[in-house]
Structure 1
Amino acid sequence: MSDQPPAVPRRELRDPAELRALAHPLRLAILDLLAELGTATATEVSARLNESPANCSWHLRQLARYGYVEEAGTGPGRTRRWRLVLEFRRVDQMSGELERALDAVQDVQLERQVQAIRDWRARRREEPAWAETTVESDCWTWLTAEEAAEFQAAYERLLQEHILPRSRRAHATDRPPGSRPVRVLYWFFPTGPVST
């Protein structure tokens, strides 16, 4: 029997509605919070995000409708607990509507990512051990499209080796002591004209 965790399931997003479900700051905040807590009720989410329980419950149901969260059992009474659906999602087949939906999600995500970096920078001096392990890198070079594809493939192998196997730790019972949520951001895009 292998000690390796089972592979993270993969899902290709083809329906623009699946993507548009994520183009909302509160829904992305809910997903981040579930990644941190493991499971939570709408009331627990609302307390942490300063939103009404009814609003959080509605957004959780929308996320469940599109397969991003699932019920994680019930608590006392009719209390419903929620958790992330652990899967690797990709958008490969681009269409006009799908592309516009992806743009909308990425715009909301960018705002959240920039804020997350600012929040970390504001508190990093309080955590010197973690400050030494974080990376902010801005570099550039000249690549062909083929070389860029090679870089992307190498990065995806790195994710497969180090990040995706640990993504199951989104469920609190799977986390080793001393672990904490870590965000990996990656931008790789051309910034100027093609060399002639």
Structure 2
Amino acid sequence: MSEWPTREITDPTMLRAMAHPLRLKLLNDLVINGPSTATELSERHQESAANCSWHLRQLAKFGLIEEAADLPTKGRNRPWRWVPMGNRWGDASESPELNMAGDELITQMMGFEFAERQAWETRKRNETKDWYDASFAIQSIAWMTADELAAINEAIRELLMQHVERLDDPASRPEGARPIRFIAWGNPAH
């Protein structure tokens, strides 16, 4: 399994900053499309360049993105890039404020991901057969212990981590590779 740096978030302000819908879109865009300027992002997301610039600075304040100083600037526009790092926060012993901020971030992230899934449902019939057939959605209910659920969590994580270096190293991506969205959760039904 590839190692991937992970930051432990203990500041509820950082979680609330990440939970903003436009910031989630901008961060996602930088992960998928690589370094971009506020102007480029504004065009892709139908927002003003000034608004995108302000939200990019908020993401940078928390170390989620950074100026791509090694890349050429485009006039007054400077490119921004994602800082490749996972995020982890909260457990049962955390402060109520951190847990509430984490709950809001998860709600916003799931809303974003659900919208992306619905967009796939709309466009999948225009895809090639191999991509159409390879995509999936799985839903199930299983009876298991907490240890068994934890083992499934780790197995899924290990599978996904096999490809994690491709996120920030385009040269490691095989020809024909595309960014694939994954969402998985496992929680007691009642």
* Fold agreement, TM-score > 0.5: yes
d(CA) in 1 for partners of 2:84 and 2:122?
30
Moved over 6 A (4+): none
Cα offset for 1:174?
5.3
Q: CA deviation at 1:41?
A: 0.3
Letter in 2 for 1:54: A
Aligned ranges 1:120-131 → 2 under 5 Å:
120-127=120-127, 128-131=129-132
Identify which range, 176-185 or 107-116, moves more after superposition: 176-185
> Structure 2: how far apart are the matches of 1:33 and 1:23?
15
Partner of 1:11, secondary structure, is strand
Post-superposition shift, 1:157?
A: 2.0
Q: Find the residue that maps to 2:66 and give its secondary structure.
A: strand
Q: Out of 160, 184, 187, which is 1:186 matched to?
A: 184
Q: Give the conservation status (yes or no) of the 8 Å contact 2:90–2:98.
A: no
The residue type equivalent to 1:190 in the other structure is P
Could you tell me which amino acid in structure 2 is paired with residue 13 of structure 1? I
Q: Does 1:12 align with 2:3?
A: no
Q: Following superposition of structure 1 onto structure 2, how do residues 3-152 of structure 1 map, counting pairs within 5 Å?
A: 7-73=3-69, 74-93=72-91, 94-127=94-127, 128-152=129-153
1:159 is aligned to 2:160: yes
Moved more, 58-67 or 94-103: 94-103
Distance 2:26 2:32 in 1: 10
Q: Alpha-carbon deviations, 1:136-168, whole Å to 9, x = none?
A: 0001111112221222222222222x2323222
The 1:144/1:22 distance shift into structure 2, 3 A limit, reads: same
Tell me which amino acid in the other structure corresponds to 1:77. Answer: G
Cα distance between partner residues in 2 of 1:150 and 1:182: 23
How many angstroms apart in 1 are the aligned matches of 2:172 and 2:153? Answer: 29
Q: Percent identity?
A: 40
> Across the two proteins, how many residue pairs are aligned to each other?
185
> Which runs of 5 or more structure 2 residues have no equivalent in the other structure?
none
Partners of 1:138 and 1:57 in 2: CA distance: 39
In structure 2, the CA distance between the partners of 1:163 and 1:176, relative to structure 1 (3 Å rule), is closer
TM-score (norm 1): 0.87
CA distance in 2, matches of 1:20, 1:176: 36
1:64-107 deviation per Cα after TM superposition (whole angstroms, max 9, x unaligned) = 00111111124133321001110121114532111001111111
Q: Closer, same or farther in 2 for the Cα pair 1:87/1:42, shift >3 Å? A: same
